Amino acid sequence: AEIYLHGLAGQTPALPTDPARLEEAARAVLDDGPFGYVAGGAGQGATMRANRAAFDRHGLVPRMLRETTVRDWSTTVLGTAMPAPLLLAPIGVLSIMHEDAEPGVARAAAGLGVPMVLSTASSHTIEEVAEASGEGPRWFQLYWPTEDAVTVSLLDRARRAGFSALVVTLDTWTLGWRPADLDQSYLPFLRGVGCAVPFSDPAFLAGLAASPEDDLMAAVGRWVPMFTGTALRWDRLDLIREHWDGPIVLKGVLHPEDALRAVEAGMDGVVVSNHGGRQVDRAVGSLSALPGVVAAVEGRAAVLFDSGVRTGADVAVALALGADAVLLGRPYAYGLALGGQDGVTHVLRSVLAEMDLTLALAGHADLAGLRSSPDALVTLPR
C-alpha cells in the first residue's frame, strides 16, 4: 500500500521491487569482478537454474473466504524470536558491494528484527558487526578452520559478541569451479577482503611472523590452507559441540541420509542449501531436496532452506514444503550494492511484504494455519 500511495504522488520506489531488475541495476553500478563474484555460480550455472526451476514445479493452492485480515508470521527458531521465518544468509566479502558492508546489513536487519547470519568471510570483524547489530538477533556462520586453536578462538569470540546460534557450512571446504571468477582472475580473498575475521584473530595471528598489514602475502598464505581442505568429519563435530553452548546448524545438507546423520550427531538443525549453485554444478535444485530432508528429520531438528529464493512467494512455497525458516541470499547483496543499508532494508521489506500478501491471499493467517493445511501446495509433473 505504501508503494502504491507514493505512486499516487508520482513517486516510484528508489530501487526495483522486481528481483531481475534489482540484479540488472546492481550489475550497472558494480565492476565486472565484484558483480561476477556475487552473481556467478559453479560451472555452467546448471545448479542455479535448477534452483529456480524447482520453484516452478510447485504451486500454492489458494483457499477462499477465510479470515486473514489479522496476520502474524512471528516464530521462534532454535531459541531466536523473529517477526517472520526469514533470515539473512551468510554472504562474505560484502565490502566489494558497498562501503556499508556487513555493519550496514546488520543495522538494516536489526531495524526489522530479522536475524543476520554473519559469515566467517566477513570484511568486518565479528565484534564490529555485533556492535552494529545492537540488540538485533544474530547467528554466526563458521567456515571450519583446519587448526583447532583457530576454530576454538572464533567460536569464543562469536559467543562473547552475542551470537546465539552457530551455522557450520559443510559444502565449501574448497571453492567450486566458478568461470566468472576464473576468467577475470578475480578472488576477493587474495586481496585480503573477507579475511577480517581471521586477520583479527589472536590464534590466527599467532602463526604469523608479521601482521597482515605489514605482510599481506604471508597472511593470505596462511589463510588459504586454513580454510581449504577439510577438518570436517562427522566425528569431529564433537569439537564444535564442546566449544559452543548454543544451537548448531549444519548448512549445505541435500541428502536425506546426511540430514539423518546430523540428527544422530545431536545437531539442532540443518540448512538445505547448495550454496546458491556456487559449489557443485549439476547439483539437485535445493527446493527439490527439501521434502526428502523434512521427511528424514521428522521434526527432530529445525530444517532451514536457501538457494534460489528471490521473492516472498518463493519463501511461502518453501514454508509450505515444510521449511521452518528461509534464508535470503543474493537479493539483499544487490540491495546493499544499490543503496547501502537502506537498500538492504528495501529488499527485506519487499520480500516480507510479498510473503505476507501471498500467504494471506492464499488463505493463511499464521504459520500454524499454513502448516495444518496439507492442501496448501501442489507439485506439478516435471
Residue 275 bears catalytic tag: yes
CB 376 within 8 A of CB 362: yes
Residues 165-194 within binding reach of ligand FNR (CB under 6 A): 169
* Rounded least distance, CB 67 to ligand FNR, Å: 33
Q: Does 347 bind ligand FNR (CB under 6 A)?
A: no
CB 324 within 8 A of CB 333: no
Residues 78-137 within binding reach of ligand FNR (CB under 6 A): 89-92, 119, 121
Tell me the site size for ligand FNR, rule CB under 6 A: 22
The rounded distance, in Å, linking the Cα atoms of 138 and 81 is 11
Q: Which of these segments, 54-62, 102-110, 292-300, 303-311, binds ligand FNR (CB under 6 A)?
A: 303-311
Q: Does 145 bind ligand FNR (CB under 6 A)?
A: no
Closer by beta carbon to ligand FNR, 25 or else 309: 309
Q: Does 344 bind ligand FNR (CB under 6 A)?
A: no
H-only helix segments in 70-229: 101-112, 126-133, 148-160, 179-183, 196-199, 202-205, 216-226
The rounded distance, in Å, linking the Cα atoms of 124 and 108 is 16
**Within 10 Å of residue 43's Cβ, how many Cβ atoms?**
18
Q: Indicate the burial class of 253 (C-beta count within 10 angstroms; 0-12, 13-18, 19 or more).
A: buried
**Which of 133, 153, 273, 341: binder of ligand FNR (CB under 6 A)?**
273
Rounded to 5 degrees, φ, ψ at 185 are 45, 40
Most distant pair of Cα atoms in the chain: their distance: 70
Closer by beta carbon to ligand FNR, 60 or else 271: 271
Q: Does 269 bind ligand FNR (CB under 6 A)?
A: no
Residue carrying C-alpha cell 521449511: 323
The rounded distance, in Å, linking the Cα atoms of 153 and 160 is 11
As a dihedral over the C-alpha atoms of residue 50, residue 53, residue 55, residue 56, rounded to 10 degrees, the angle is -170
The residues near 189 (Cβ < 8 Å, ≥ 6 apart) are: 93, 121, 195, 220, 223, 224
Closer by beta carbon to ligand FNR, 311 or else 358: 311
The rounded distance, in Å, linking the Cα atoms of 137 and 269 is 17
**Which of 104, 308, 322, 363: binder of ligand FNR (CB under 6 A)?**
308
Q: Does 201 bind ligand FNR (CB under 6 A)?
A: no
Site string for ligand FNR, 45-84 (x = CB under 6 A): ------x---------------------------------
Q: Does 335 bind ligand FNR (CB under 6 A)?
A: no
User: Pick the catalytic residue: 58, 98, 124, 275?
Assistant: 275
CB neighbour burial string for 78-99, b if at least 16 within 10 angstroms, e if fewer? bebebebbbbbbbbbbbbbbbe
Task: Tell me which amino acid residue 261 is.
Answer: R
* Rounded least distance, CB 18 to ligand FNR, Å: 16
Q: Does 306 bind ligand FNR (CB under 6 A)?
A: yes
**Which of 307, 341, 345, 358: binder of ligand FNR (CB under 6 A)?**
307
Task: Tell me which amino acid residue 337 is.
Answer: A
Residues 24-43 within binding reach of ligand FNR (CB under 6 A): 37-38
* DSSP label at residue 62: -
Closer by beta carbon to ligand FNR, 136 or else 188: 188
**Which of 98, 157, 330, 346: binder of ligand FNR (CB under 6 A)?**
330
* Rounded least distance, CB 333 to ligand FNR, Å: 6
**Which of 43, 145, 247, 329: binder of ligand FNR (CB under 6 A)?**
329
End-to-end CA distance of the chain: 36
**Within 10 Å of residue 56's Cβ, how many Cβ atoms?**
11
**Which of 58, 124, 138, 275: binder of ligand FNR (CB under 6 A)?**
275
Q: Does 251 bind ligand FNR (CB under 6 A)?
A: yes
Applying CB under 6 A, the residues found at the interface with ligand FNR are 37-38, 51, 89-92, 119, 121, 141, 169, 251, 273, 275-276, 278, 306-309, 329-330
- Active-site annotation, residues: 275
